[in-house]
Amino acid sequence: MATAKILTRYAYVTNQTYVGTSKLTTSAIDRFHNCSVAMASSKDEEWKNAKTIYEFTVKDLEGRDVKLDKYKGKVLIVVNVASKCGFTKPNYNDLNELYSMYHDQGLEILGFPCNQFGHQEPGCEVDIKEFVKKNNVKWDMFAKVDVNGDHAIPLYNWLKSKVEGMLFDAIKWNFTKFVINKEGLPVARYTPSTRPMEFKERIEAELKR
């Protein structure tokens, strides 16, 4: 168990390359191989033809495909999350509160763990599940992804192209929030420093439409 935990802690330091696994237990090695990021090739540009978020498929924490058309008619918050960021606690607290307040009215929150910013989401899916449970997260959490660069998943390439960021379109840090309306269209983008409760009125307005 101890070796497995140590391996998890360092698996992403060298881009998922780990030297000296000969002393690790079989379970630790298996866990290392499960430490993966759901990536896509930058050459895949079919996302440019997408009209709504419902045309995308992503991976859940078990590695299973999830078609986003399951969220048709819902208001969505899509957010790249990290467990070891200075923004983690306030964002998780607010997202949990918003979900509690508005889920019955049609709000869904989609969290995408990402380790691209300060290596602040270093763990595997097992670690993410433990963090989610510890923080009483009821909303949907998906597999770890890249949101920028050559291996950004198509969903994030599409989101960035639809709602411009300040100065440039790339995701700047953990906890960039997108609001998606009931028609599956991105209608707002909020910076990492903007707490989710600060745009509560926007969520309420979209739910009433």
| Residues with a known catalytic role | 85
Closest CA to 27 of 63, 3, 62: 3
Tokens representing residue 116 in the block: 């691209």
Alpha helix positions (H), the chain: 2-10, 26-34, 88-102, 125-134, 154-162, 200-208
Closest CA to 25 of 44, 46, 7: 7
Q: How many secondary structure helices (H) and strands (E) does the chain include?
A: 6, 7
Closest CA to 53 of 184, 166, 176, 165: 184
Cβ neighbours of residue 175 under 8 Å, at least 6 residues apart?
79, 80, 81, 82, 85, 87, 88, 91, 192
